[in-house]
Structure 1
Amino acid sequence: MRPRDRIWAAAFVALWSSGFIGAELATRYAPALTVLNWRFLLLAGPALAWLATRRRRWSARDVGVHVVVGLLGQAGYLYGVVAASGLGVDPGTSALIAALQPVVTAAAAFAVLGEPVRAGQLGGMAVGFAGVALVVSADFSGGGAPLWAYALPLGAMLSLVAATVFERRGGRTSLGPVDALAVQFLTTAVVFAGVSAPLGAFAPPASAGFWGAVAGVTVLAGIGGYGAYWTVVRRSGPTTAATLLYLTPGTTMLWAWAMFGTAPTLLTWVGLAVTLAGVVLSIRARPRREAEVPEPAPVR
């Protein structure tokens, strides 16, 4: 990876992982749907203001691409993960299901986009998945969720895979990265407001802790995490972006250690090392076509 791509990759892993900590803090004050609703309502105002100041005329097709990406990659993914947690699915189990994404993304990119996948790349993914399994097993506590609830994190993972491949297949649009995120944020805000209002989950609690947690997860994960994710997809390809997700369960545990004093076990550290080795092997084995994604042109 190019030096700047490494910086984006590291930023993506750290920021994406922070979302799980922010969700944990925020859901101490309100239901998950209320948290998601206000997370995106906070983003809707700045997003609308940004698009208004741009005064650009985009084609319906270009805007439509990012409406779909927002529905799949933000509304679909986040609701699946958070709803599963609310039904009692263990976070470790959700993380393990989400860790299937690199393999599914690679298969989808090969089938839909024609992007080649090398044996070394699949081997790296297998090593990475083994590392994730070690990390999760060190923190697994079981769960009392109904059987059907486990379909939610699976659906969330497939939703993000679909968004990643769809965005890639749509090609370059006339929207810059910030423009695209603004459209996605507005789309997701409409979805969660429309769902939470009739279910009585729209009104926020009068708690400074709630607003602090929601503001934190909105800036770090909402803007930073998703912005970095799509930047990595554009610069290094969808398979690389998905492979980096292997690092998020372990990184989340490091966040929890810093925030809540929950020290990782020896098995967790071993799993982190194995996961990192798998990610490095997979990225180094990338086919030339994906490894040499052109440097994106600056947005004007």
Structure 2
Amino acid sequence: MSPALSSPLLRQFALVLCWSAGFVGYRYAADQAPTLLVTFWRLLLAALLLLPFAWTEVRRLPLKIIGQQAGIGVLAFAGVVGPAAKAIELGVSPGLAALLSDLSPLLVALGCCLLPGQRTNGRQWLGLGLGLAGVLLATGAGLGLGVAPAWAYALPLGSALALALATLVQSRLPPSRLALRTQLFIQLAASSLVMLGVAGVEGPLTPPLTLGFALAVLWLLIPTLLGFGLYWLCLRQGSPQAVSGALYLSPPVALLWAWACFDEPLAPGMLLGLLFALAGLLCLNAAERSGRLEPALGR
């Protein structure tokens, strides 16, 4: 691991920066091609790039592990990215779509309360509450309902549920020495097959031979490989609550991306939301550190 990413908090900041870059990619890609087609080529290209580095290990893996990672990948990639992007294309306002999609940390915390051996303590709930307040403040200006059909508003909620399920399932698996690149390859390959069918129903799969489409897909490799890669890496070394809670920083940072790339105005509420979300992340990390110390102090 790079020394620069040895700190859990620095890894989470890097995760948020890469994860939120997907907003810029889809904002630009929406003018180039249908979002499901962009998503299919995004996942397929990422899988092909990882294939030479993962194939040797994949060939030796038991089918059970391949199946587990394939299922998690379908939830985390096809189940998260596709519905949220399609909701915005259908007319759900980006602010509302971001808010609904980023409810996954709350769903993860609730799920931990139901699982044996997991719990969400008071300080973690406080951190999650601060993070949710930050998302509400940051996206408040964009919470109009939009012009989408009623059923489209369920799509970003489905994204939040899919990521929460993928996070909880991955965190419950026994510790594995599976290389991160191999884990990502299996997930992306399985998700590409799913998106092949979904995008194929919508229309032709031939990519537009334009520079704009190529740039959009290449940019989306940042959240695909680095964003999800850092998410799984953080989950290997931290609690589901703290790792998923870091995503509460994603909407405010995505708005900063929009300001930098599209010259959109910065609202005071966005900056305040960023501070609340940051406070929530610090609270979650403090709760995690104290949780590691308690067993040692009790011995």
Q: TM-score, structure 2 length as denominator?
A: 0.91
Residue 291 (structure 1) shift: 8.1
Residue 286 (structure 1) shift: 3.0
- Residue 246 (str. 1) matches residue 212 (str. 2): no
CA distance in structure 2 between the aligned counterparts of 1:159 and 1:286, rounded to whole angstroms: 24
Aligned-partner SS, 2:202: coil
Q: What corresponds to 1:298 in structure 2?
A: none
- Residue 276 (str. 1) matches residue 281 (str. 2): no
RMSD, aligned CA: 1.9
CA distance in structure 2 between the aligned counterparts of 1:112 and 1:286, rounded to whole angstroms: 18
Q: What corresponds to 1:51 in structure 2?
A: 54
Q: How many pairs are equivalent?
A: 290
CA distance in structure 1 between the aligned counterparts of 2:63 and 2:292, rounded to whole angstroms: 29
Q: What corresponds to 1:34 in structure 2?
A: 37
Residue 22 (structure 1) shift: 0.7
Alignment of 1:169-208 (within 5 A): 169-208=172-211
Say which is worse superposed, 251-260 or 123-132, in terms of deviation. 123-132
Residue 141 (structure 1) shift: 4.0
Q: For residues 34 and 19 of structure 1, do their structure 2 counterparts lie closer, same or farther at Cα, with a shift above 3 Å needed?
A: same
CA displacement 1:228-273 (0-9 Å, x = unmatched): 1111111112111111010000000111111111131112111211
Q: For residues 288 and 62 of structure 1, do their structure 2 counterparts lie closer, same or farther at Cα, with a shift above 3 Å needed?
A: farther
Aligned partners of 1:92 and 1:139 also within 8 Å = yes
Q: What corresponds to 1:143 in structure 2?
A: 146
Alignment of 1:275-294 (within 5 A): 275-286=277-288, 288=290
Residue 288 (structure 1) shift: 4.9
Structure 1 unmatched runs, 5+: 293-300
Alignment of 1:123-142 (within 5 A): 123-142=126-145
Amino acid at match of 2:104: Q
Residue 177 (structure 1) shift: 1.1
CA distance in structure 2 between the aligned counterparts of 1:71 and 1:35, rounded to whole angstroms: 16
Aligned partners of 2:127 and 2:280 also within 8 Å = yes
CA distance in structure 2 between the aligned counterparts of 1:152 and 1:198, rounded to whole angstroms: 17
Query: Which one of 226, 229, 240 corresponds to residue 227 of structure 1?
Result: 229
Residue 138 (structure 1) shift: 2.7
Identity of aligned residues (%): 34
Aligned partners of 1:118 and 1:286 also within 8 Å = no
Q: TM-score, structure 1 length as denominator?
A: 0.91
Q: What corresponds to 1:297 in structure 2?
A: none
Q: What corresponds to 2:219 in structure 1?
A: 216
CA distance in structure 2 between the aligned counterparts of 1:86 and 1:152, rounded to whole angstroms: 11
- Residue 67 (str. 1) matches residue 70 (str. 2): yes
Q: For residues 52 and 130 of structure 1, do their structure 2 counterparts lie closer, same or farther at Cα, with a shift above 3 Å needed?
A: closer
Aligned partners of 2:84 and 2:101 also within 8 Å = no
Q: What corresponds to 2:269 in structure 1?
A: 267
Q: For residues 54 and 109 of structure 1, do their structure 2 counterparts lie closer, same or farther at Cα, with a shift above 3 Å needed?
A: same
Aligned-partner SS, 1:286: helix
CA distance in structure 2 between the aligned counterparts of 1:113 and 1:290, rounded to whole angstroms: 18
Aligned partners of 1:48 and 1:186 also within 8 Å = no
CA distance in structure 2 between the aligned counterparts of 1:119 and 1:10, rounded to whole angstroms: 23
Aligned partners of 2:134 and 2:276 also within 8 Å = yes
Aligned-partner SS, 1:145: coil
Residue 174 (structure 1) shift: 4.5
Structure 2 unmatched runs, 5+: 295-299
